Each structure stands twice: as structure tokens, then as C-alpha cells.
Structure 1
Amino acid sequence: MLCCFYDCISVSTILPVAAILAAVYYWYKRPSNMPPGPRGIPFLGVVPFVEKQSERTFFKWKKDYGSVLSVRMGREDWVVLNDYESIYQALVKQGSSFSGRPSVSILDEITNGHGLAFLDYCEKWKSQRKFGLMTLRGFGVGKKGMEERILEEVDFLCNKIRAKNGKPFDIQIILMNAVANVIWNVVIGHRCEYEDGDFKRLIDILRKWFSSDGSVYIEMLMYVPHLKYVPPFYTKHKELKDDISEMLVIFKRIIEDHENTYDENNSRDFIDAFILEMKRSQSSSDFTHLQLMQYLRDLFEAGSETTTSTTRWALLCMLHYPETQDKLREEIMNVIGSSARPSMSHKTDMPYMCAFIQEVFRFRTLVPLNVPHKTTEKVNIKGYTIPKGTAVFTNLWAVHNDPDVWDEPNKFKPERHLDDKGNFVHSNHVIPFSVGPRHCLGEQLARMEVFIFLVSLVQKFEFLPDPDAKDLPDIENGSHGTVFVPLPYKLLAKEI
């Protein structure tokens, strides 16, 4: 009887221990020839050990594990590419093999398998990408006509700045209004007044979720989706979904207005072009109202926030490094004077402005880990085997801060992009819009906007720190989430 008692104790002890050992083995087990890297703790992986700026943590781990490493984010294995060579080998040399998008719960809930940015690599993505490129180009993106639209918006922006009467103000809202209106002009055929109710609401939603707090919540829900059942993530998750639904309602209303006034012989904008495709492809599920609404959301978000934040970082750099603003203005005055309107044709005569912009792109990487990729088949990179369906981070911040490429990468030095004769030197190691088949759809427009906006602003105003502030605005820190945008700050614009 005593023997049976000990047998029962033995079994009751061994089974839980065996289960724990099996769970630990499963957790730390990797696919064959997978890149090395930390595993973290069960259920959370390395999430608790990653700094607020996770791209910097991954870059530090490069010293121990190499430029290609794997980490457990939540319950999934992610591969991190930590230098230009590995990113180029993946996204360019094996572009189609790395062009997938991982299934991320919070993003799937937002997009419902539509749009473009988070659509997985498939025939639908190919057709939508091709349509987007051709249509945007057809309505002037990358062409001379687009300069006029940007310059028109510059005039509205400058008038708003003048209305501040030389008093300190936060430029974020009026700048985002101007930038958003450029893409909106292409998409809906006209600009919106800054006071327009729907337009203001769309801007407010963008600002909320690209702010520090909003971006962090989204990032955490991406990696640990079950947090949506736990306060305060539960509330934020619901709030995000409600805001996205409100955006889609606004887009739906705009689309209905277009359909009511549609003329197949007069394609006015992106929406009209899409409506034409819907009529041509009635049997196709690729061109639908829901797809168009999500496409508009992608274009509005990407076409508003990135250029706005890049310009805000540029102005912030001018406040911290006033000598750069002096050099920029001197170059502008020498090339076009105080009254001529800037054009992309002036770029070749403005090497310092080009160097300044490239350094802003490098110095403050907006999307440090890029939009996540996924392997569409089993691939090999730098001697490692990565299974099909593996999520991949491409660490753009690591490329922009690689000490093997950049001297003192933590310092802002536009001169690093000039040769000994003062000519601008384009660098393949500055890739803010990514590379490969899934690089940013609006790259040409964004580059044009940043150049024309900055030249116009420096030509007309001298930007100075808020005299009432004790210190200069924070240039080292920004929102700690998926997008690295500046913290709120005020400046003073003195008309020249």
C-alpha cells in the first residue's frame, strides 16, 4: 500500500515536471539553421527586455548574434536584419521572397484584408500596387504639374504662419493640414479648407495615433495581441477601432459624392480612376468599395504623417543648429533670391539643401524598423535558413547609424553628404523609404514635398526657439512606437 502511495506521488510529480520541460524545450527550440538570438520568456518573448526604442536594442544585440538574428516577439519568431548588406540582399536581391506581410491581429482588424500597405504579397497586391503607381503618376505625382499643387499649398501654409504675428506656436497642425492637402488634391480632386469638419477630424485621428502614447499602444498590441483584453489596452483597442471606423465613414461619404457626379469621360482624381476600374472589373474582387476606402486610408496616413514629421524634424534641427539654417538661406538666396518660387530643377544648384535633407532622413529615421515583411518561401541569407512565413524586421535605424559607414553617427552633420568640392553625394545607405518591391509608394511625392516646403519656408522665414522656453525642444527623443515623430514643441517664425 505504501508502495502504491509513492507511485502516485511519483506520477503526480513527474507529469507536471515533464510538461514544464516540454514547454521549455518547445519555447527555446528553433527551426534548423535559424539565425541565433535571444528568446526571452514564455508568452512574452523578448518584449519585456526591449528598450522603448526597440531598434536600438536589436542593434546592440548585433554584437552578440551578428547582423542577421532572430527573436521571439510575443509567441512568434521574428528575424531582424541589422545592416544595409543583409537588407539589400533580402529586399532587393530576393525581393519577391521577402515581400509578404505578416498576419498581425491589430492590423488585420483595421484593414480586413484590404488597402495596400499591409496587404500580403499576392495577385491582389500586385494589381493594386500597379494601379496606384500608374494612377498617381497619371495625376502628376513626380511631374512638373505636382510642383504647382505643392506651391499652392505652401502659400496657404505661409499665410497661416504669418497670422501668428511673430508669436511662438506649434507648427504641427497647420503643417499637417498643408501636407495632407497635397495628397488629398490628387485623391479627391481638390484641396480642403483647414477648418473643414471632416478634414479636421481626419487630422485629429492621425495625430492621436501617431503621437507617443498612441503609437506605443499600437506597437504593444502588434506583438502581444491578447493585451486587448486587459486594461488599459482594452479601452485603447476599442478607441482605435472606433476611430478607424469613423475615418472609413468619411471616406465612404466622399466616394458616394464622387459616384453621384461621376463622368467616365472626365476622370478627375484617384477616386474616379478607381471607380472606372470597378466598372471595368465587376467580376473581380480586387476593386471594391471597401478596398477603395482602405486604400484612401493608406494614402492619407502615409501621405500626411511622414512628410509632416520629416519637416518638423528638419525645423527642429535648424533650432539646434542655427548655422545650418544660415547656410541654407544663403544658398537659397544665391540660387533663386527672395521672391522666385522654388522648383525641383533647382536641386542641382542647392547641394547644401540636398545634404541637409539627406542628413535629416538619416539622423531621425521616421520608421526605424520599417513596415514588417514576411518571407513568401524558404530563403537563405548570410548562411542562415529562414522558413516560409517568417516575419522580418528590417532595421533602417541600424543602417542610418552604422559606425562602419558613418563617422560619429549620433551627430547631425549635413556636410558628411558633400564632397571636397561641395557637391552633393547621394548615399545608398540612407533609405528612409525602404528598398525593393515594397518601398514606399509615395516616395517621389514625399521627396518633392520636403524639398519645396523646406526651401519655401527658409526663404520666407527665420525660425527661432520659443523665447519663453527654458531649454531648446527635445531633439533626441520622439514618440516611442512604430513611428518616431518629434515630441510637441513651439517655435517662432520671423518673416524675412
Structure 2
Amino acid sequence: MQYLGQPKSDVAIAKYAVALMILIRILLYLFRQFRIRIRKNENNRMDPPSAPWIPIVGSLPFMGRYPERVIADWGRNRGYGSVFRVRFGTMNAVVLNDLSSIHEAYVKNGHRMSGRIQTSLIQEMTNGNGLIFLDYGDKWRSMRKFGHSAFKSISANEHLNEIIAEESQMLVAALAKQLNNPESTDEYLCGNYKRAHPPQSLKSRYDLNNNAGEWKLLDPEEFMHKATGNVMCNLLFGRSFRKDEEDYNAVLEETPIQARKSASVFMLVFLVPALRGMPYVKDVIDEALCFRKDTFKMIKEVVDQHISDFTELKPESDFVDCFINEMKNVDREDANENSFFTYDQLLTYVFDIFTAGAETTADTLLWGLLYLSRDLKLQAELRKEIINIGGNNFFPSVNHMSKMHLLKATIQEILRIRPINTFGMPRTATERCTINGYDVPKGSVVLPNVWSVHHDPEVFPEPEVFDVRRHINEFGEFVPSKSVVGFSVGPRQCIGKRIADIDIFFILSSIIRNFEFRLPKVWQNSTKSFVYRELDMKGKNGHVLLAPEYDLEWRRIE
């Protein structure tokens, strides 16, 4: 067809020009992809391929609500492989998408892959103290060494066993009391427990006539947060807090609220720092920083009391006492290392452990209860194992852990199927290195896709199916999996892993021994009947992967 007012030859030239431009664009794109995938540098190392991205926002528009799952698909099904670059906003990260690449980066090259990103927001929050956000160097090595030693000493002490066991029994008693009298406010929650639904509304929403007098409705969320918070306080401070200590209880109640409210906003600013000053973003961050100051105030009061009462280190001493002992030990040979043990460092260190440890453990327990509520048969098998090993009057002990193979397998499956930190904490390369043949320059941001490892179908067939038997061998014994890496690996592996394992084991075993719990039935207008409530088991994603809000029906087991 001829354009109006144009000679036929001009029309042909225009068509050829457009075709030539398209061809050039295609060739440039293919050349760029060829360079990314094939080009080798002077050391014979390849650059990692790059996922699709656009300026400023990077690959975020292509990743949806669950970037860890999209990135896992890119690696397995779109040809990007186990190591490739993904732009999270303005941050260009190298993503490790399988176990071998994570092991090569964090274990074989652990000393080269232990840095942390340093931003103005991180500096504002930490002032260069703590542990989680400390960059790789002498101070981090000193604090890591101390923390590992302190936790190892405390976790090996029978006193910790008694603390967590006692807290587990207090939790059981509190749950039983609340179930016997749903209208009451249990002292265990210090009067702050807010039900998701007023008691009078439950009769119309839930089928409470099924096994009337036996099953009672209860939201376990705040019970889990209180239990893990008290364990962490005993670990750090050597004590839990009374119901009349309002500052502490306010902090404990507000911590999960702030975590859920601000996590995604902090991550957004982390990825696109320019958003820090936007009205809504600024308000959320300012509120979170204000809460942080309140938490520091509570920690400071407890630490000051410890310093005032400090006499000598005792075997049953807590984390704060261990740190104060280092502060007061002026005869250390390494004066430079000793200088890291400061008052401000102690406050931030305690804050890091308190907020990270208690929250992640509680969130793991909430996922565990939700999955177990869907399988009463598994609960019965677990209860049988607990009674066979621990007796009818079960009181949890670390000595039981190695003997309860089914329960250990269940906990590992909970950790696998819904890892709380789907990407772990970003690290930076402190030296240039090679991962699976790809060049990772110094300063590169590196992210492990924990979700991808936990849902690798070659390692875990039908990865979205909750199957505890995958962790049991033919002899009925629990098999620890190297492919469950929620606590990370290498030099920056979580120093509280052992304590978290004990905490989850004690609390979950105590609940299963004493209660049966299930998802309630809700009224469905379309069928005019009660059906089991459907929940979004994908979870609520932000910086961490949280279970959906839910209630359970509970029944006491004698």
C-alpha cells in the first residue's frame, strides 16, 4: 500500500529503514545477551547472566508478591541457571539459586562473602554497633566469636533447659485456662491479649456445636510471641517480666505489630533509597525508629541494673552478664579487641538478638501449628511418640530431642516448607571470587534464595506438599538435611540456631502432648453448610514470610 503524497520508491525505502532498525535492535539485544552469558574476562571467568529489568525499579515489576518464587522459576525453567544477576530496584544483586552455589559462596569462600551492605538508614539505626548489620572486619569477628561462645555456654547449661521447659509448661497452663474461660483475660498475656474476633461473634462465624463442650476457639499468635519473648528475655537478662511491668509488656506486644507493619517498607527503602523521604514511607520508618528508641530504653534499664549488681561470672549467667564480664576484663591481651566491648555495642547487640530471635521463632511456631492443624492423624502419631519417650507426665528435656525422630522430622519440614527469611540477609563480597564459574567482583551484593533451595523438586519431590516422612529413613530415624538452610551457612550462620532448635522443640512438643487442634469450620452461604476455612497458605510476604491470620479449635488432651 502506498502512503498518500509519497512516491512508491520512498515508501519502499521507509519500509526497509524500519525493518533495518528493528533488525539492528534485535542484533544489539542478542549481542548484549551473548556478552553477558559468554564473554570472559582476563581471568577466564564469566559474568553472571542478568534477569530482565528496567531503569530505576529494576526487575521488581516482573516479580510480583513472591519474588523468591519467580526467581526460582527463572533459574530452573527460564535458562538463567543457579547464579545470575537480579536488579532489586537500584541494587544489582547476584542471586544464588541452589544449594551448591550457596555452599561454594558461603562455605568455601566464606571469608570473601561475609560483608554487609552499609546504607544511611542502617547507620542511623545501628551507629556501627550490634551484630546483624556489622560489616565484615575485626569488630564483627570479635562480636561473632563472643556471641557464639556465650550462646554455646548458655545452651550447654542445664539452667537453659529448665528455663525453656518451665516457659513451655506456663504456656500450656495459660492456653488451658483461656480455653476453660474464653471470656477471661489471662495473666500470662498481662491483660494485653486482643482477640481477632469478639467472643459473641464466634457463634455466627464458626461451627461451635461440633463436639460441643470439647472444642474451643483460640488465636495462638500472641501466646507464641509471649512464650518466645520470655525465653529470649531469660537468655539475655536472666529473667522474664512481671505482668505489672508495663514498659516491657508494651514492647513485647508492639514488636510483632511493628515487624509486620514496617518490614516491607524498610525493604523497599533498602532497595530504592530515594524513597526514604516519601510521605507514607517516612511516617512508617519514623514510627519504627520511635519504637526502636522505646525498646532501647527498656533494654538500657535492665542492662544498667545488671551493671549495678554485677559481681562475678557464674555458670548460669545470662548473655548480658557475659558481655559485662568482657567489658570489665581490662587484662585482656588484645586491647584492640577489648575496645569493641562497649556499652553502646551491648545495647545494640541485645536489641538485635531480642527482636530477631524471638520473632522468627514465634513465626516458625505459627506456621507449624497451622500445618499441623490440617493433619490430626500426624498429631496423634507425634503425641504417641512424645508419651512413649517422655511418659504421661511429659516434661520436655534436651535429652528427648535425639530420641523423638518424628517430631524432629516435623520441625525440619516446617522450617523447609515455609522459611521465614526467604532470601536470608544480603551479604557483600569483601574480595573478588568465582561462584560456579561466574565472576563476582569485590563489593557485589549476594543473595541466597533460600526458598529455591527448600523447594527444589529434585531434592524434595512435590515441594509444596507438607510431608514429614521425607526426613525419615527406612529405619524410622530422623535424617538432618543439608538442603534446609533457613539459619544460613558459613561464617555468618545464625549464632542462635541451637537455642532456636531447643525453643521450638520444647514449645511444640508441650502443645502437642496437651492439646489437639484443628482449623474451624465456617458457614458457606453457597452450600448452606459449614466447611473448613480456606487460608492462603502462600503467606504474607515482606522482609519475612508470615503465616496468614487464623484461629484454631482446641481440645485438651488428658
TM-score w.r.t. length of structure 2: 0.80
State the distance in 1 between where 2:253 and 2:114 align. 32
2:498 is matched with which residue? Answer: 444
- Give the drift of 1:462: 1.0
Number of the residue aligned with 1:208: 257
| Cα drift, residue 42 of structure 1 | 1.4
Q: Which residue of 2 aligns with 1:261?
A: 309
1:126 aligned to which of 137, 141, 150? 141
Q: Secondary structure of 1:232's match?
A: helix
Indicate yes or no: 2:224 matched with 1:163: no
Alignment of 1:321-470 (within 5 A): 321-467=375-521
CA contact (8 A) 1:210 1:485 kept: no
- Aligned residue for 1:116? 131
Unmatched 5+ stretches in structure 2: 1-27, 181-215, 524-530
Query: 1:369 corresponds to which letter in structure 2?
Result: F
CA pair 207-195 structure 1, distance change in 2 beyond 3 A:
farther
Deviations 1:19-39 (A, max 9, x none): xxxxx99x9998953211125
**Shift in alpha-carbon separation, 1:487–1:193, aligned structure 2, 3 A:** farther
Instruction: Describe the SS at the equivalent of 2:487.
Output: coil
Distance 1:310 1:126, change over 3 A: same
Which of 55, 63, 72 in structure 1 is aligned with 2:87?
Answer: 72
Match of 2:549 in 1: 488
Q: CA shift at 1:288, angstroms? A: 1.5
Superposition map of 1:13-52 within 5 A: 33-52=46-65
Q: TM-score, normalised by structure 1?
A: 0.89
Is the 1:177–1:194 contact (alpha carbons within 8 Å) kept by the matching residues of 2? no
Give the C-alpha shift of residue 278 in structure 1: 2.0
The separation in 2 between residues aligned to 1:217 and 1:236, in whole angstroms, is 7
- Note if contact 2:520-2:552 (Cα within 8 Å) is conserved in structure 1: yes
Query: In structure 2, which of residues 152, 165, 171 is the aligned counterpart of residue 151 of structure 1?
Result: 165
Give the AA of the match of 2:299.
F
2:351 counterpart of 1:297: yes
Residues 289-346 of structure 1 show CA distances to partners (whole Å, capped at 9, x for unaligned) of 2111110111101220111111111110111222211211122222223213122222
CA deviation after TM superposition for structure 1 residue 179, in Å: 1.0
Structure having the higher Rg: 2
C-alpha contact (below 8 Å) 1:102/1:390 kept by paired residues:
no
Equivalence for 1:246: 294
Identity %: 34
Matches within 5 A, 1:205-244: 205-211=254-260, 213-244=261-292
CA distance in 2, matches of 1:225, 1:39: 21
- 2:150–2:322 Cα contact (<8 Å) kept: yes
State the distance in 1 between where 2:396 and 2:328 align.
40
1:72 is paired with a residue whose SS is strand
Q: CA deviation at 1:143?
A: 4.1
Q: Once the two structures are superposed, what CA deviation does each residue of 1:108-154 show, in whole Å capped at 9, x if it has no partner?
A: 3221211001111110001111111112233x214433211111111
Cα contact 1:316–1:475 (8 A) shared by 2: no
2:100, 2:225 → 1: CA distance? 34
| Residue 57 (structure 1) shift | 1.6
Deviation of 1:285 after TM superposition, in Å, equals: 3.9
Q: Counterparts of 1:88-107 in structure 2 under 5 Å?
A: 88-107=103-122
1:173-205 CA-to-partner distances (Å, cap 9, x unmatched) read 122111111121121111223553122222233
Q: Letter of the aligned partner of 2:274 in structure 1?
A: H
Contact 2:522 2:532 in 1 (8 A): no
Deviations 1:414-452 (A, max 9, x none): 111112232222211111211111001100001111111
**CA separation of 1:235 and 1:265: change in aligned 2, threshold 3 A:** closer
Show the counterpart of 1:197.
Answer: 246
CA RMSD of aligned residues (A): 2.4
* 2:111 counterpart SS class: helix
Give how far 1:159 is off.
1.6
Contact 1:215/1:481 (CA < 8 Å) preserved in 2? yes
In 1, Cα distance between equivalents of 2:157 and 2:326? 23
The amino acid of 2:269's aligned partner reads: L
Aligned length: 471
**Alignment partner of 1:91: what SS?**
helix
User: Post-superposition shift, 1:471?
Assistant: 4.0
Q: CA deviation at 1:475?
A: 5.3
1:316 equivalent in structure 2: 370
For residue 176 of structure 1, what is the amino acid of its counterpart?
H
The CA distance in 1 between the partners of 2:243 and 2:82, in whole Å, is 46
Q: Distance in 2 between matches of 1:171 and 1:93?
A: 41
Q: Which runs of 5+ in 1 are unaligned?
A: 1-23
For residues 97 and 177 of structure 1, do their structure 2 counterparts lie closer, same or farther at Cα, with a shift above 3 Å needed?
A: same
Cα deviation code 1:349-372 (max 9, x no counterpart): 322111111111111111110111
Aligned partner letter, 1:297: F
CA distance change for structure 1 residues 226 and 306 in 2, over 3 Å: closer, same or farther? Answer: same
